[in-house]
Amino acid sequence: MSAPLLALLLGTIVVQPAGPVRTLSAALALARPGDRIVVRAGSYREPRLLVDRPLEIVGEGLPVLLGGEHSTLEITADGVVVRGLVFSGVVPSSLEDRAAILVNGAAHCRIEDNRVSGAFFGIYLKGVTGCRVARNRVSGLAGGKSSTGNGIQLWRSREVELEDNQVEGQRDGIYFEFVTHATVRGNTVSGNQRYGLHFMRSDSCLYERNSFLANGAGVAVMYSRAVRMIANRFERNWGPAAYGLLLKEISDGEVRDNRFVRNTVALYLDDANRNLISANRFEANGWAVKLLANASDNRFEANEFAGNSFDVATNSRSASSVFRENWWDHYQGYDLDRDGFGDVPFRPVRLFALVVEQSNPALLLLRSAFVDLLDGAERLLPILTPEALVDPRPRMRPR
């Protein structure tokens, strides 16, 4: 009995340029549920590939699947594994969301250790449950936002894990819509044209130990509840409309142990309510926190503010959010009872910040002696800065 026939009988199909099975499409036609397809090194120009039965597809030697005017690989069966493949190129379309890997209505799939380059959408999960996307590298098409889609996209999915992926050069690095109970951990998302992470109407999700670096506008979190963002890095998101993290209509969430470094606005709260923002470090940002009038009952506790042009800015004197036991590098108070906390309150909203909110060109005066005099006068006799936004018990030193 020949070796290829024996392998086929044992449930393994080998795809190689010079073998009896020379294309992945031919292997899929032969495969039975539960089979393993091994794709060996080479370049393969394939039609649209459909995986409609549970299979394991594994690449050896980084085989390349060349894309075209269609999604390259579509998965509709539960329990499919795709690992170790290279996907090169998917032609953009204004009519359909073409992806290198499209998972449509499946459960418990695993997309691991693949590389995607030059694809319209990278990895697209639609209506899935319990899938895992890990250790993939996704890089987008050159050109404007209209010529490239999102790196990893989820739509109407639940209980998905995204772990240790790298995404760069896409429109949005990671995009969620109508997703629940997802875990996003250890990903590096950098240099994307719009958002590093963008999600809407996605409740009860955890984002932990991710790095969002030098993206167009940073991370936008919208219309969701019970979101937890823990130990992430938001860095170098610069631009006239850029921020590290935007919370828009987010309620009952937690933002803890994150680092916000060198962003135009580190944290922006717009109609965000009852969120706990604790143990974060805000360093060298333009604005560390922008808190709009419609953001209420948020708690800022045990954070560190260092080297920011403005620690806190607001457009209201009647804010209901509270600050307590934060460390502020601009605090000049004293600690007579030596309990580690200042004996006089700290007002983090500078009077000049209120001026800038009314007239952005006033920023030209930021380093002037006049501004120092203005802020000093307001500290001695506070009249215009918000009464509510006062830290009554500031820390004397960082944690």
What Rg do the C-alpha atoms of the chain give, in angstroms? 26
pLDDT > 60? residue 382: no
Tens digits of residue pLDDT in 66-79: 999 999 999 999 99
Q: Which two tokens stand for residue 1?
A: 């009995």
208 with 185: CB under 8 angstroms? yes
Higher pLDDT, 175 or 146: 175
What confidence score (pLDDT) does residue 389 get?
Answer: 81
Q: Which amino acid is at 51?
A: V
What confidence score (pLDDT) does residue 18 get?
Answer: 93
Q: Which two tokens stand for residue 161?
A: 């894990």
What confidence score (pLDDT) does residue 381 get?
Answer: 47
What confidence score (pLDDT) does residue 20 get?
Answer: 95
Arithmetic mean of pLDDT over the chain: 90
pLDDT > 90? residue 65: yes
147 with 123: CB under 8 angstroms? no
- Domain 97-380, architecture per CATH: 3 Solenoid (2.160)
What confidence score (pLDDT) does residue 6 get?
Answer: 47
What confidence score (pLDDT) does residue 374 get?
Answer: 54
Burial pattern 116-126, b for ≥16 Cβ within 10 A else e, equals bbbbbbbbbbb
Which pTM was predicted?
0.90
399 with 389: CB under 8 angstroms? no
Alpha-carbon distance 48 to 58, whole Å? 18
Largest CA distance in the chain: 94
